[in-house]
Amino acid sequence: MRRRIRGSGAWLFLLPLLFLSLFYFYPLLSLFDISLRPAGALDLSAFLRIVESDYYLGTLLFTVYQALLSTTATLLLALPCAFVFARFRFRGRSLLLSLATLPFVLPTVVVALAFATLLGEDGLLNDALRALFSLDYAPVQLERTLPLIIIAHVFYNFAVALRIMSGYWSSMGAAAEEAARCLGADEWALWRDIRLPLIRPALLSAGALVFIFCFTSFGVILILGGIRFATLEVQIYYQAVSIFNLPMAAALSIVQILSMLAMMALYTRSQKRLRLDLASGATLAKPARSALEKLALAACVGFMALLLFSPLLALLWRSIFVGGALDLRNYASLAESSRGSLLFIAPLESIFNSLRFAALTTGAAVFLGLCAAYLIERGGRLGRLFDPLFMLPLATSAVTLGFGFIVALDEPPLNLRASWLIIPIAHTLVALPFVLRSVLPSLRALPPSLREAAALLGARPQTVFRTIDLPLLGRGIAVGATFAFTVSMGEFGASLFVAQRESVTMPVVIYRLIGDPGNASYRQALAMSVVLMLACACGFSLIERLRVAGVGEF
Amino acid sequence: MFIKAVLSMLIALVIAGGAFAQESDSLVVMTHDSFAVPEALLEAFEDQTGVAVEVLRAGDAGTMVNTAILSVNNPLADVLYGVDNTFLSRALNADIFAEYESPALEFVQEAFLPADEDYRVTPVDFGDVCLNYDIATFEDLELSLPESLIALTDEAYRGLLVAQSPATSSPGLAFLLATVAEFGVDGDYDYLDFWSDLRENDVLVVDGWSDAYYGEFKVTGRDSGSRPLVVSYASSPPAEVLFSENPEAGAITGAIVADGACFRQVEYVGLLAGAANETAARQFVDFMLSPAFQEALPLNMFVYPVRADVDLPEVFAEHSQIPENPAWVDPADIEAHREAWIQAWLEVMLS
């Protein structure tokens, strides 16, 4: 028996739908309306041009191709690491998880610089190989190739897959595995019959997010891939901004959104059949004992160090060494606004702005995300239909949504075009799918018997939620909150439309610094990127603490 | 408790949003990301006129113009500053501006004055997109500078230049327009022939200015890229000195300002039609042409004043060169052919 939403709290579940309609569908449809009906009559010739032209079709195919490759690579690499993280307790585990999430907040320009330091023609890797094998050429030629795009996508999205999968894996009881072991199952059988089938919902969740992210990738493709590789997202920006061909931009946006919608619908269907009822008992995590286990742990940490931390370290190194000597001037100068300029506020002030928006976004996204998760899970057939809709903001180009806000939200009481509120609203739209995808697998695995027992014993729905659901969902919520926080800290586009000083966030400062010629501003930008990473790391540990304090250990 | 707290917060947010109405004794200035002005200067304007100034940044220049066009019936601001000659026609065609002839126009250099007494926009500043080079590399290689665009196709400069894509970058488009002006669009050797030769000569094209300048441009003394020639601005060398860790050491980069090798971008300000505060908007246009504001332009936005009677800051006077004969393409031509020119360029460069 599936339980339906009922009782006085039901309206809560409609809030996320209201939010989505008001701040996503309404602006988007308004923009499509003026784009595709310029003279009052519907003009769909832009769609015809897409279908007829090899150029646009080629762009679409390349977009899908690189996204599939990137997603597969990310999942394959993250799966063993997620297992290690779920299975072993070790010193520095949560620090490692936090570090793995940091790439997410870095502006692509900064990441491109870090990759060039490492993998470029005169990068550290080529220098080392040259010295080692006394070569007179650079053996690694990755600049502006598809493999580099895929490496960068793995770099950005590894933490998404890792956190979602390991969060889910560690909240599953050890009972099934121990039973299988008692019945004589070997390691191979454990993987085939227990672990992989159990992880499938989280694997699909992570895969869907990573796919959408790679599908709509903008900066990574442009900066690391060069102009030869153009995705739909790049094409939409070009049509909307450079040549102001709104009908074509709208048509391409619709193609992008519909392909995502189809993908997501397919994915939600496949997930429907997987409904696990696992008592969330003792955690599986234990210290690594045998030599094999220690080797697996070392391999995982070593791999992550190579993939994720070496670019971050390159960045740190570049920011604190000036001409070979340790020099912290770059950091000291962040405290002052050198030009006394109105919009060029002291970079350190922007930390406060960023943290404020990130806190608002995390609160709103976790609340709305939880409501949405219950709507989807307990809302029956209708509820499940809403699932793909919440993913759409991720599939929508920032410039499309930005122009949508301009044409739709232009009259009181919703004249938000120039208000700072647009920033947390836009961030929440993007963060919501992360919370949803992190919470849903756990919510699906929630044993109904526990809730029924509680209800039978006379617990009110609120009490059931607080004492049963919340502790069991805690890990998923924490993962979602971490990502909501991260998305907000790293986001850049939405704050472009807003006026006041308080809208100057850390990524905006980095972009402005990197927009000025000169050594000092360039190094300040690097220092600011390191500060951004530190601020995020602090945010992560705070979220982790809140989880432990708020919902107890499990 | 948690849910109640979040709910009340959300409701508060919505109410705050509703209350966020614009007051009429304030002036909203819509501009692009690169807008920067000393706070004291704006405060002086506010004290003088009693009008509070609010600055609305609306993305890059293209995004800003498109935003203004999309909100033409219910303008977001009173004044729009920062539309340049590459986007001017688009803005004028969409009728977003109201006419205003500023008395301060008499101080503006003749070359920048509006043609045909069309006073819908007022020129404020200009800058030139041109080649920058790393001084030390050219000295080490004992290489002379490419003193014209066609020289870039010379074997001597093979693999030395990094440029930007005109599809995604404003200096990229400006440089493309310089080649359009120099070589024309038809004839024996048009701009596409030039680009195809550049491609043969191993030019590197990247997406944006910062990728080119920080990622690929070689500046001796900075761990940066490997190409000593880049498409940037004539004002980049003085800015490079200004933001250097050691400004006394002098210039480390230079700009090539030969005839026809640069493209001039002129930035304009205009009153948005239907503005809530037209009087203050006019005052602001006059203010932008005042000596104090014009003098502040180079050090804040790295552009040059349109007034001839203001002094340049020392670092600019010493290290910057202003091209005497930059390339020029009519704004109406740019708007009419932008897509075709870029498309043809993409085909040459990507095929």
Number of DSSP helices (H) and strands (E) in chain A, helices first: 26, 2
Q: Averaged over A188-208, what is the pLDDT? A: 84
Query: Would you place residue A543 in the very low, low, confident or very high pLDDT band (cuts 50, 70, 90)?
Result: confident
Task: For residue B40, list chain A residues with Cβ-Cβ distance below 8 A.
Answer: 340
Of A411, A497, A519, the CB nearest to B245: A519
Ramachandran angles phi, psi of A370, nearest 5°:
-65, -45
pLDDT attached to residue A272: 60
- pTM strictly above 0.90: no
Q: What is the pLDDT of residues A136-157, one digit of tens each?
A: 887 888 877 888 889 999 999 9
Lookup: tokens for B321: 């060169």
Residue A296: pLDDT above 50? yes
Highest mean pLDDT among A269-273, A445-449, B106-110, B244-248: B106-110
- Which three-class secondary structure state does DSSP give residue B14? helix
Task: For residue B248, list chain A residues with Cβ-Cβ distance below 8 A.
Answer: none
Task: For residue A399, list chain B residues with Cβ-Cβ distance below 8 A.
Answer: 63
pLDDT attached to residue A496: 56
CB B198 within 8 A of CB B161: yes
Residue A26: pLDDT above 90? yes
Q: Report the percentage of chain B scoring pLDDT > 90.
A: 62
pLDDT attached to residue A432: 93
Phi/psi-derived region of residue B87, left when phi > 0, alpha when psi is between -120 and 50, beta in every other case: alpha
Whether residues A367 and B39 touch (CB distance < 8 A) is answered with no
Q: Averaged over A251-272, what is the pLDDT? A: 82
Gap between the Cα atoms of A275 and A269, Å rounded: 12
Instruction: Give B351: exposed, middle or buried? Use CB within 10 Å, 0-12, 13-18, 19+.
Output: exposed
- Find the residue in A nearest to B301 (Cα): A516
- Find the residue in B nearest to A504 (Cα): B57
Whether residues B38 and A339 touch (CB distance < 8 A) is answered with yes
A330 CB within 8 Å of a chain B CB: no
Whether residues B34 and A515 touch (CB distance < 8 A) is answered with yes
Highest mean pLDDT among A125-129, A306-310, B201-205: B201-205
- Find the residue in B nearest to A229 (Cα): B350
pLDDT attached to residue A1: 39
| b/e sequence B134-169, b meaning 16+ C-beta within 10 Å | bbebbeeeeeeebeebbebbeeebeebbbbbbbbbb
pLDDT attached to residue A549: 54
Mean per-residue pLDDT over chain A, rounded = 81
Q: Report CA Rg, chain A.
A: 24
pLDDT attached to residue A550: 47
A184 CB within 8 Å of a chain B CB: no
Whether residues B57 and A499 touch (CB distance < 8 A) is answered with yes
Query: Would you place residue B256 in the very low, low, confident or very high pLDDT band (cuts 50, 70, 90)?
Result: very high
Whether residues B3 and A12 touch (CB distance < 8 A) is answered with yes
Ramachandran angles phi, psi of B57, nearest 5°:
-85, 135
Q: What is the pLDDT of residues A446-487, one digit of tens each?
A: 777 888 888 888 888 888 888 778 887 887 888 889 889 988
More confident position, B267 or A540? B267
CB A451 within 8 A of CB A279: no
- Find the residue in A nearest to B348 (Cα): A228
Instruction: Give B107's DSSP letter.
Output: G
Task: For residue A519, list chain B residues with Cβ-Cβ distance below 8 A.
Answer: 219, 221-222, 240, 243-245
- Cα–Cα distance list, A400 to A231, B66, B223 (Å): 15, 12, 37
Residue A278: pLDDT above 60? no
Highest mean pLDDT among A203-212, A296-305, A506-515, B263-272: B263-272
Ramachandran angles phi, psi of A546, nearest 5°:
-60, -40
Q: What is the pLDDT of residues B158-179, one digit of tens each?
A: 999 999 999 888 899 999 999 9
Query: Would you place residue B100 in the very low, low, confident or very high pLDDT band (cuts 50, 70, 90)?
Result: very high
Q: Report the percentage of chain B scoring pLDDT > 70.
A: 93
Task: For residue B313, list chain A residues with Cβ-Cβ distance below 8 A.
Answer: none
Task: For residue B9, list chain A residues with Cβ-Cβ distance below 8 A.
Answer: 360, 363-364
- Find the residue in B nearest to A218 (Cα): B207
Task: For residue A364, list chain B residues with Cβ-Cβ distance below 8 A.
Answer: 6, 9-10
DSSP string, A208-265: HHHHHHHHT--HHHHHHH-TT---HHHHHHIIIIIS--HHHHHHHHHHHHHHHHHHHH
Mean per-residue pLDDT over chain B, rounded = 88
DSSP string, B145-186: ---SSGGGGSGGGTT-EEEE-TTT-HHHHHHHHHHHHHH-SS
Distance from CA of A514 to the nearest CA of B (A): 6
Residue B2: pLDDT above 80? no
Distance from CA of A434 to the nearest CA of B (A): 19
pLDDT attached to residue A283: 58
Gap between the Cα atoms of B316 and A238, Å rounded: 34
Q: Report the percentage of chain A scoring pLDDT > 90.
A: 19
Q: Averaged over A519-540, what is the pLDDT? A: 83
Gap between the Cα atoms of A405 and A27, Å rounded: 5
Distance from CA of A532 to the nearest CA of B (A): 20
Ramachandran angles phi, psi of B162, nearest 5°:
-120, 130
Decide the pairing of beta strands B79-84 and B26-31: parallel
Q: Averaged over B223-251, what is the pLDDT? A: 87
In sequence order, the 6+-apart residues with CB closer than 8 A to the CB of B157 are B143, B146, B151, B201, B229
- Find the residue in B nearest to A417 (Cα): B76
Query: Would you place residue B254 in the very low, low, confident or very high pLDDT band (cuts 50, 70, 90)?
Result: very high
Whether residues B168 and A418 touch (CB distance < 8 A) is answered with no
Residue A251: pLDDT above 60? yes
Whether residues B33 and A109 touch (CB distance < 8 A) is answered with no
Single-letter amino acid code for the residue at A383: G
Q: Averaged over B211-227, what is the pLDDT? A: 84
Ramachandran angles phi, psi of B159, nearest 5°:
70, 15
